[in-house]
Amino acid sequence: MTPGEIKDLIDAIYHGTADPDDARKLLKLFCDYIDKSEPVPDDILIFLKHAFTAVLTEEKTLDKALGLKRKRGTPKRDEEKDT
């Protein structure tokens, strides 16, 4: 995944438009970097820092902070209608 794709994915998670599978993909990517002893891109580390901060301050549950649970009322991508 390119740095631009990582940024786009993180942006979609922040805005609640990402699918939970996309969030899982980002977490898997993080684990892959760790498994390979490669440096984790700063964008991923910053995302995780914000997610964990939201959990510690009780603003969000872990699932919501990591994007593993969609916001209520947020349509799935394939359900969105073009207008």
Distances from the Cα of 16 to the Cα of 39, 54, 67, 81, angstroms: 27, 15, 7, 17
The answer to whether 60 and 54 have CB atoms below 8 angstroms apart is yes
The answer to whether 13 and 67 have CB atoms below 8 angstroms apart is yes
What count of Cα atoms within 13 Å lies in the side-chain half-sphere of residue 54?
16
Cβ count near 65 (within 10 Å): 21
pLDDT tens profile 34-73: 999 999 999 999 999 999 999 999 989 999 999 998 766 5
Residue-range domain boundaries for the chain: 3-70
pLDDT score recorded for residue 82: 46
